[in-house]
Structure 1
């Protein structure tokens, strides 16, 4: 079994002045946020809004993000337009697919218009769409291609290829899981923990002795009742 095909689409990213540029988009239901490369953001002259979040992924790799922006994505194959908010990152990932393949072998029906007409060619990703938008783009309808059983789902951006492919497998395996970490929330939790540790009561020698006595002598009988021995204070205490 070869590498899996990731769901890509060619779209026209548009700014507030209706200026647009073609962009390659990757759909991923396992991610919590949308991303855009800083290069495309600059080309479209999108307004950047300051933000302070961290993106976590596999192996606890964390990327600090300082800006977000909003853009419109019209479909090439339908009148559908979506507006999304994206985190601005230097780079999204390596080329997709990692290895080229012959799309003709898949026997795609001639009337099907793929969302990415060059899906078989390795290319960089400009926009990354997560689960906040992913499921709203999925339509009813799916075709199984060739003997490999590769699914061809229908979306509002066009038909997409997604799933396992026969053939050679690349040595580089990618898992797209993105988790947004809010720095403010993390710092709040940290200070709460610190506050608890600072306000912890320091027990005296006598209080420590009583606590130790209780933990060693408390028992539970067969009826579920607790049996507690009361510590007695000696004459010298």
Structure 2
């Protein structure tokens, strides 16, 4: 197959402390600006100037500029140096080349000094040097072979290579038949209950034996924690506090999101979905949180998500120490097909489905958070009292509860129970009017 090799060079860049850092640069004569990655800029430690603009790439994709610095670039092979302004971006491009390949035995490269001797190794790029730099570094030498080999151009940084290369990849695939079988079992539309693991059966048994229903109709469930969860769960409060401070800084910079975030959290508290935590348990887990902005949503534009996958001091998260439970989700295709068999159909949504289900008081210690609605107030500890977005078992607990609700209320609402048992997808139920009314 044929790949395109882009011109790269290794250069020395002068840091603020007077030392030189060797970095990898892409020479791009089609770029109007020169750019440096945020990581490389931090290595140099050069004071940056503010830059409020955006940088547009292919397809008019814009990237926010993180500032601009002036750097000194020096050749590794001679006394050439030059100064240039570079804009700072979080990321530049993917690794070049896309894949590493064996270095070809091109004879015309034997007697020249390459700007990037390891051009064949897929590695990150720290700098993108634009057309203004290209015009300063180019010399007269050029070597061109046939169409299957790149051209070599002489520059102050060494000889750069660009153009077509023929590469041959030999892919050896070792199939694990157990994994393949598991894949097809997941994708199969047969009855999920026939292939439940020991862990899945444990989750179902725990739910059936320990779930309670309150007089107001709400269910109280247990989190399906692994037997050694308390032993392996590490300290998490300090990390949650540090991440909250970062969140608070971002909210202070965006008043609109800050208002929506506070409204969401106030509603959470007023509905009893979280409460102030007065007990300092020996084993507890604090969940960092952030918001997801959904401008297209007609109900909740800002949703706060709690990160159950955040690692504790032991390197394990609460999700790592929690069973996920069996997959109770109906196949969407079969749900839609059944729905379209009838003349009249309708859709219902279970509002705040997760948050309608309470977590047993003993398990709320696994989902504690840090929060305050103003930097002028002290930090407070809260514990989430309901099934929580971002925890591993949340989908299982929610769907299992919907099934339990259908069973418990089938004698009163037989048609609604059938809809929940057979036509529920996530928190949406698609159903139809009974045949007798059509």
Q: Tell me the residue number matched to 1:43.
A: 43
Give 1:185's aligned residue.
none
* Aligned residue runs from structure 1 range 82-93, under 5 A: 82-93=82-93
- Secondary structure in 1 matching 2:68: strand
Structure 2: distance between partners of 1:145 and 1:77: 25
Moved more, 49-58 or 145-154: 145-154
Query: Which residue number in structure 1 is paired with residue 105 of structure 2?
Result: 105
Larger radius of gyration: 2
Instruction: String of CA shifts for 1:5-44, please: whole Å, max 9, x gaps.
Output: 1000011111244221110000001111000111111111
Matches of 1:149 and 1:129 in 2, distance apart?
24
Aligned counterpart, 1:2: 2
SS in 2 for 1:3: strand
Q: Which residue of 2 aligns with 1:74?
A: 74
User: TM-score scaled by structure 2?
Assistant: 0.37
Shift in alpha-carbon separation, 1:54–1:105, aligned structure 2, 3 A: same
Q: Tell me if structure 2 keeps the 8 A contact 1:106–1:145.
A: no
State the alpha-carbon separation in 1 of the partners of residues 149 and 94 from structure 2.
26
Shift of 1:110: 2.4
Instruction: Please name the residue that 1:144 is paired with.
Output: 144
Q: Deviations over 1:146-193 (max 9, x none)?
A: 672421110110001111111359xxxxxxxxxxxxxxxxxxxxxxxx
Distance 2:3 2:147 in 1: 16
Instruction: Write the deviation string for residues 36-80 of structure 1: whole angstroms up to 9, x where unpaired.
Output: 111111111111101111111122211121310111111001110
TM-score (norm 1): 0.67
Q: Structure 1: which 5+ runs fail to align?
A: 170-237
What SS class does the counterpart of residue 132 from structure 2 fall into? helix
Question: 2:45 aligns to what SS in structure 1?
Answer: coil
Following superposition of structure 1 onto structure 2, how do residues 28-39 of structure 1 map, counting pairs within 5 Å? 28-39=28-39
> What is the match of residue 27 of structure 1?
27
**What number of residue pairs does the alignment pair up?**
169
SS of structure 2 residue aligned to 1:105: coil
How far residue 4 of structure 1 moved from its aligned partner, in angstroms, is 0.7
What residue in structure 2 maps to residue 65 of structure 1?
65
SS of 1:118's partner is coil
Q: Secondary structure at the match of 1:133?
A: helix
Structure with more of its chain in helix, by fraction: 2
Provide the C-alpha distance between the structure 2 equivalents of 1:16 and 1:39, rounded to a whole number of angstroms.
15
Q: In structure 1, what is the Cα distance between the partners aligned to 2:133 and 2:147?
A: 31
How far off is 1:3 after superposition? 1.3
**C-alpha contact 1:145 1:152 (8 A) present in aligned 2:** no
Q: How large is the Cα RMSD of the aligned pairs? A: 1.7
1:14 correspondence with 2:11 = no
